Amino acid sequence: MVEWTAATAPSLEDIETLAEATRAALPEAFAGAAAQVVLRVEDFPSEALLEEMGAQDAFEITGLYEGIPLTEKSVMDPGGPDVIWLFRRPILDEWVARGDIELGALVAHVFVHELAHHFGWSDADIARIDRWWE
């Protein structure tokens, strides 16, 4: 039996560790480019981001890719790293609501989905790495 009185919710660092484990497990063909994307984990998206995305509820957004996909990137594009944002509280809320998936699998799914935007991947490309769709 789990001793719930001593348990704490997964931290920002825990979510980051799970996402980084996913990045480390990517096939070699994607690892180099994936390593160039900065990972940020916050509890919630900012109010400005919610407004920009037209979201009414901070729990609607589990992750976000900010950048220019590799399929569209040019040497003329302004500098600055591409960023994947993961939002801890919406991820945890979805994890609890589902009740049938490991947290690591959910974090991996969100991370790979956002990374897919960086690579310009289709759903078929995502399915080769993230078996979520099956």
Structural domain includes residue 48:
yes
What is the SS3 assignment for 84? strand
Structural domain includes residue 118:
yes
Share of the chain above pLDDT 90, in %: 58
Question: Among 93, 122, 113, which Cα is nearest to 10's?
Answer: 93
Is 125 a residue whose pLDDT tops 90?
A: no
CATH of the domain at 51: 3.30.2010.20
Structural domain total, the chain: 1
Structural domain includes residue 114:
yes
- Write down the pTM of the prediction: 0.86
Burial of 115 (0-12, 13-18, 19+ CB in 10 A): buried
Tens digits of residue pLDDT in 57-86: 999 999 999 988 888 877 777 777 899 999
Measured distance CA(27)–CA(4) in Å, rounded = 37
Structural domain includes residue 105:
yes
Structural domain includes residue 1:
no
For residue 63, the tally of other CB atoms under 10 A from its CB is 22
**Which one has a higher pLDDT value, 72 or 52?**
52
For the segment 23-39, the average pLDDT, to the nearest whole number, is 92
- Highest mean pLDDT, choosing among 84-88, 98-102, 110-114: 84-88
Backbone φ, ψ for residue 121 (5° rounding): -70, 150
Burial of 36 (0-12, 13-18, 19+ CB in 10 A): exposed
Structural domain includes residue 47:
yes
The pLDDT score that the predictor gives to residue 133 is 47
Structural domain containing residue 40: 9-69+80-129
